[in-house]
């Protein structure tokens, strides 16, 4: 491919060789100027001759010839000057058109027209300059290509980094050395309730609207190489609840060790803290619950060993108390193990078609003696033609039994407990409702009703319990059978608990 430099090398030698051509030599500006000056000298000589003839009374014919020759020479000089000007202007226009074409397409065709010799050096210098500019342009194009490649690589790396950041479930914020937000992932937008497209390159203090957190980021940004990476724990009230975050602050440094920004990663450890607290509370509660029956068993055993039982009747009472506390301890351990198995997903579940009416009737028959002993009316209302549910019969029985047992336990003598089954085919579930007119539950206790070891303060003196029964019922309904338990209660009026089992297999 012919380059601009090659074309210039063809152009300028041709222009330099132009003076050797006869036409170019004849019509060169210098030659035409010399000819014109020569003609003017001849005109002056002829004019002087004409004056001489006039002065010395030359014949009229000679004077006419002299003045005619002078006039013709003057006209010829003027014509030559005009012709030279025309040829020069024509050559300059041709050069101008070639230069304008060069400006538009960066290509210069060889000049085929006549170029005045006086312009050859100017054109040659111009050619050298154009060739120099062309070399500069080639270098700039090469640099531009290299920069384009570097920019594409940098853009690909930036997109890759952004993809990694946006795939992180933790909130990530990136601020530059001026404290302005440059990048945030979706989790950060949700956490701090903003849109990156609207808040990019804004002061991060305005984005966070949290003075303490802004101070942490500012300290990390100004720490420089003294604190490249550190972790802090941060607690804030968001959405009406206290949340705890483990914040990793990483300072971005350049090759000179200057701070270019800071990256903050917010890992929500609220659940972990709650689980740790729940485990601590669970261990403490279990220890307390185990301590009570064990203390009773130990005390009565020591009394038996010390011979404090004077007769068989007293020893029988001690044995009954020990057996009762042992049963209580066994029930507590069984419930704890069942809950642990369900939560760990290792509970052996055997599902099949279960008739709820049969389970409810069995619970009614088992609990009737206990209700009769407290003078409580226990009734069972079974719906007709009730479909079967896909469930574990033993766990369903245990759940219904726990709810009915609680209803009887916290209902005063002379009260009423009703068990009723129903079907909601449109809603896709069967329900077992246990209704009583007992003590009821305070509204402030309802949210914590299914927590482990939680017992309502107004019922603690009425009956003994571990606070695990309803938690086990909740796990049986929701975790095992994907159903739900709904509680409505009014303190001093009564409580209704509804167990809802889905009709579909799960």
Q: What are 363-382's pLDDT values in tens digits?
A: 999 889 889 999 999 999 99
Portions of the chain given CATH number 1.10.287.130: 273-343
Portions of the chain given CATH number 3.30.565.10: 350-502
pLDDT tens digits, residue range 198-256? 888 888 888 888 888 888 888 887 775 555 678 888 887 776 778 888 888 888 777 77
pLDDT tens digits, residue range 303-334? 888 888 788 888 888 888 888 888 878 877 88
Give every CB contact of residue 313 below 8 A, 6+ residues apart in sequence. none
According to CATH, the topology of domain 168-268 is Beta-Lactamase (3.30.450)
- At residue 38, the pLDDT reads 74
- At residue 170, the pLDDT reads 85
CATH of 350-502, one of 3.30.565.10, 3.40.50.880, 3.60.15.30, 1.10.3720.10: 3.30.565.10
pLDDT tens digits, residue range 490-500? 988 999 999 99
Phi then psi for residue 411, to 5 deg, are: -115, 130
- At residue 485, the pLDDT reads 93
Residue that wins the pLDDT comparison between 317 and 44: 317
Mean pLDDT of 25-34: 58
Provide the pairing of β-strand 494-502 with 484-490: antiparallel
- At residue 29, the pLDDT reads 56
Residue that wins the pLDDT comparison between 153 and 500: 500
| Integer Cα distance of 430 and 300 in angstroms | 48
Domain 273-343 has CATH 1.10.357.10: no
Portions of the chain given CATH number 3.30.450.20: 168-268
The residue to which tokens 């602050």 are assigned = 249
Q: Is the whole model's pTM more than 0.75, yes or no?
A: no
Q: How many CA atoms lie less than 13 Å away from 173 in the CB half-sphere? A: 34
Let me know: does 103 contact 96? Beta carbons within 8 Å: no
Let me know: does 188 contact 266? Beta carbons within 8 Å: yes
Give every CB contact of residue 82 below 8 A, 6+ residues apart in sequence. none
pLDDT at 1 over 80: no
pLDDT at 154 over 50: yes
Q: What is the DSSP letter of 181?
A: E
| Integer Cα distance of 473 and 495 in angstroms | 16
- At residue 118, the pLDDT reads 59
pLDDT at 384 over 80: yes
Report the DSSP beta bridge partners of residue 417: 378, 436
- Please spell the DSSP secondary structure of 147-180, one letter per residue: HHHHHHHHHHHHHHHHHHHHH-SSEEEEEETTSB
Nearest residue to 99 (alpha-carbon basis) of 81, 122, 118? 122
């Amino acid at each position: 491919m012919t380059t601009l430099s090659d074309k210039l090398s063809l152009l300028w030698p041709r222009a330099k060789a132009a003076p050797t051509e006869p036409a170019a030599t004849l019509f060169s500006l210098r030659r035409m100027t010399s000819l014109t000056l020569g003609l003017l000298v001849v005109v002056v000589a002829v004019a002087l001759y004409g004056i001489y003839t006039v002065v010395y009374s030359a014949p009229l014919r000679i004077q006419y010839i002299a003045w005619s020759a002078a006039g013709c020479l003057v006209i010829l000089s003027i014509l030559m000057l005009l012709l030279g000007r025309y040829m020069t202007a024509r050559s300059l226009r041709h050069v101008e058109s070639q230069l304008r074409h060069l400006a538009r397409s960066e290509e210069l065709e060889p000049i085929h027209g006549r170029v005045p010799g006086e312009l050859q050096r100017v054109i040659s210098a111009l050619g050298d300059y154009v060739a120099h500019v062309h070399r500069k342009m080639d270098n700039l194009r090469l640099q531009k290509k290299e920069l384009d490649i570097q920019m594409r690589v940098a853009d690909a790396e930036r997109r890759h980094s952004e993809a990694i950041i946006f795939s992180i479930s933790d909130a990530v914020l990136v601020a530059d050395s001026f404290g302005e937000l440059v990048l945030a992932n979706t989790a950060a937008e949700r956490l701090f309730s903003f849109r990156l497209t609207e808040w990019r390159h804004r002061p991060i203090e305005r984005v966070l609207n949290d003075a303490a957190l802004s101070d942490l980021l500012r300290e990390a940004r100004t720490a420089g190489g003294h604190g490249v990476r550190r972790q802090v724990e941060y607690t804030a009230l968001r959405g009406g609840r206290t949340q705890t975050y483990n914040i990793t602050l990483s300072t971005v440094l350049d090759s000179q060790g200057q701070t270019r920004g800071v990256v903050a990663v917010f890992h929500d450890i609220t659940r972990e803290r709650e689980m740790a607290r729940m485990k601590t509370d669970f261990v403490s509660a279990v220890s307390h619950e185990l301590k009570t029956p064990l203390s009773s068993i130990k005390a009565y055993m020591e009394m038996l060993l010390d011979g404090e039982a004077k007769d068989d009747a007293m020893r029988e009472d001690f044995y009954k108390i020990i057996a009762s506390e042992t049963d209580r301890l066994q029930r507590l351990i069984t419930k704890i193990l069942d809950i642990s198995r369900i939560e760990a997903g290792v509970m052996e579940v055997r599902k099949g078609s279960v008739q709820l009416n049969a389970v409810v009737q069995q619970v009614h028959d088992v609990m009737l003696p206990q209700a009769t002993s407290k003078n409580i009316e226990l009734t069972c209302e079974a719906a007709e033609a009730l479909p079967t549910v896909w469930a574990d019969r033993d766990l369903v029985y245990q759940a219904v039994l726990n709810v009915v047992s609680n209803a009887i336990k916290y209902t005063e003598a002379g009260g009423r407990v009703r068990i009723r089954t129903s079907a909601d085919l449109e809603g896709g579930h069967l329900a077992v409702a246990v209704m009583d007119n007992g003590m009821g539950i305070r509204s402030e206790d309802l949210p914590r009703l299914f927590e482990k070891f939680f017992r309502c303060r107004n019922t603690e003196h009425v009956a003994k319990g571990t606070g695990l029964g309803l938690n086990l019922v909740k796990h049986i309904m929701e975790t095992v059978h994907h159903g739900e338990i709904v509680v409505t209660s009014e303190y001093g009026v009564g409580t209704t608990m509804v167990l809802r089992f889905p009709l579909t297999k799960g």
